[in-house]
Structure 1
Amino acid sequence: MAGSYIIEMEKYTFKKEERLCSKRSIDDLFHNGSSFVVYPFRVVYLAYEPQERPFPAQAILSVPKKRFKRAVDRNHLKRQMRECYRQQKHTLYAFLQDNALHMSLAIQYVSNEKLPFETLKAKTAQLLARLEHEIDQSHLGKGN
């Protein structure tokens, strides 16, 4: 079961099982999770012990209606965010597998303007690197 997501990573998919859909899980994430900002994203994450799931991370991506009134703009940004995450999540998955962790993750768009895809892609890479660093630091503290 643990190796099943390795095959999926090679295809760079973002399946339903990788999306955070459960209201209970989302509430738990926002009430108990930690957060940081890598502009133009705000990340809320919650790492936990591995469970019987085919993927080590579940993510939810959002763009606020307050900043982008038109659904077309929100959907376009969400599509770009999904694409960036989909292409770069393999680094996060490898990190989580090495540390025997699973996680829930929310990525929120906080900028007031639409940024180009290449910028979003670079910022997503920074975001994932920072996320790995944050998880590393929090688990080092728990081990002492």
Structure 2
Amino acid sequence: MERFTYKRSEKLKSRKQIELLFIKKQSISIYPIRISYLQVNEEIEANSLKVGVGTSKRNFKKAIDRNRVKRLLRESYRLYKLPLHKIVQEKNIHLIVFFHYYSRNILSQTELHKKMELGINKIVALLHEPLA
């Protein structure tokens, strides 16, 4: 049975890893989400996939709005993460992913779910490609 969870061990919290991600990142953009990801050589603790979400204070002045956007991002990731987990386990790679919401208005939950599914499928397709 597949479980749709977002465990604590899966959350990206390490300042070092976040800085490394934003220095050496590869990113794709599916409006209104920019997905930054980085394949790391060293093992990332027990879990081989770390995920973070965020939005800017410039776009959402009120904390309640920023928190809502982050909650929606986490929820949509939780529902559509299985293909990403499968490829990480199959290829035995370590991956850091960050979902950044960059629009000034909040999409509905169903629209955001569609965008997240597209983004995750795009990352999976990129990871399937052989390295040049």
For the aligned residue pairs, the C-alpha RMSD in angstroms reads 1.6
Report the counterpart of residue 37 of structure 1 in structure 2: 29
Query: With structure 1 as the length reference, what TM-score do the two structures score?
Result: 0.85
Q: Which residue of 1 aligns with 2:50?
A: 58
Structure 1: which amino acid aligns with 2:27? S
Is 1:125 aligned to 2:117, yes or no?
yes
- Displaced runs of 4 or more, over 6 A: none
CA deviation profile, 1:95-132 (whole Å, cap 9, x unmatched): 11111111001110011111000000010000001111
Q: Which residue of 2 aligns with 1:73?
A: 65
Structure 2, unaligned runs of 5 or more: none
Output the TM-score relative to the length of structure 2: 0.92
Identity of aligned residues (%): 28
| Residue 51 of structure 1: how far off its partner (Å) | 2.3
Instruction: Note closer, same or farther for the CA distance 1:121–1:52 as it changes in structure 2 (3 Å cut).
Output: closer
1:20-31 matched pairs, under 5 angstroms:
20-31=12-23
Aligned length: 132
Q: Do the aligned residues in 1 keep the contact of 2:25 with 2:36 (CA within 8 Å)?
A: yes
Deviations 1:44-65 (A, max 9, x none): 1001347264322101100111
- Measured after TM superposition, the shift of residue 136 of structure 1 is 2.6
Which of the two has higher C-alpha Rg? Answer: 1
Name structure 1 gaps, 5 residues minimum: 1-6
